[in-house]
Each structure stands twice: as structure tokens, then as C-alpha cells.
């Protein structure tokens, strides 16, 4: 491939990148979600919720820590639209609201065993 062909190819790649690039607001939202799931205790909570909804007491049991800390982390996940909650009698049950986030986490878990 000569220099002219490479220039044309690179211009096409730049155009494709620009066309598929989210807005600045979209980028900010993506970064906020990555930041939310990158904290270890929040990631543990999401892994605990992978099997289905749980109340705070059961999340605490699954991930360790204390109720106050888990509640604080759940609020962060809820604020970032990663988890949702519903009332069932006196209990509030939490579940994953964004399956795409769980797909990323699953892919990351698979990568733990990758020897590349």
C-alpha cells in the first residue's frame, strides 16, 4: 500500500470514528458508569445481584461489610441507573437494571482466565 492509499484509508477510518462517536454528554455518562462499577465494593454488589434481586441485608451477607456502607454503594449504583429497587412489604429489593453492564462484567470475568 502506498502513502496515498494509506492516507485515503486513514481518512475513511477517521470519518467512521467521528460518525460512531457518542456526544460529549454520552461520553460523560459512559465514564460515570465505568467509574461506578470500577469500585471493588460496588462490583461485588453487582456480582451478588447477578443471580437475582436481594435485599440490603442479604447483599451485606453476600459481599461483607456493613449495612450503611452497602446502602451508600447501592445509592451510587442506583444514581447511575445500574441497579433499581422495588418495595416488597417492609423490604426493599435491589436488582440489576442494566443488563449491558452485567455483560461487560461477565466479559471481564472471562478475561481473568485469558492467558494472552
Give the predicted TM-score (pTM) of the model: 0.81
- Considering Cα of 35, then 41, then 44, then 46, what sign does the dihedral take? negative
Question: pLDDT tens for residues 31-46?
Answer: 988 999 999 999 999 9
Residue 1: pLDDT above 90? no
Average pLDDT, the chain: 92
Q: What is the 3-state secondary structure (H, E, C) of the chain?
A: CCHHHHHHHHHHHHHHHHHHCCCHHHHHHHHHHHHHHCCHHHHHHHHHHCCCCEEHHHHHHHHCCCHHHHHHHHHHHHHCCCEEEEEECCEEEEEECCHHHHHHHHHHHHHCCCCC
Question: pLDDT tens for residues 59-99?
Answer: 999 999 899 999 999 999 999 999 999 999 999 999 999 88
Residue 116: pLDDT above 70? no
As a whole number of angstroms, the distance between CA 17 and CA 108 comes to 24
Amino acid at each position: 500500500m502506498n502513502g496515498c492509499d494509506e492516507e485515503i484509508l486513514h481518512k475513511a477510518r477517521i470519518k467512521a470514528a467521528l460518525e460512531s462517536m457518542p456526544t460529549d454528554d454520552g461520553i460523560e455518562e459512559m465514564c460515570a458508569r465505568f467509574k461506578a462499577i470500577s469500585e471493588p465494593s460496588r462490583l461485588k454488589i453487582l456480582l451478588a445481584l447477578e443471580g437475582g434481586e436481594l435485599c440490603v441485608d442479604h447483599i451485606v451477607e453476600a459481599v461483607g461489610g456493613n449495612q450503611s456502607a452497602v446502602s451508600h454503594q447501592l445509592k451510587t449504583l442506583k444514581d447511575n441507573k445500574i441497579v433499581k429497587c422495588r418495595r416488597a412489604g417492609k423490604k426493599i429489593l435491589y436488582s440489576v437494571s442494566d443488563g449491558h453492564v452485567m455483560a461487560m462484567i461477565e466479559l471481564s470475568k472471562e478475561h481473568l482466565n485469558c492467558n494472552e
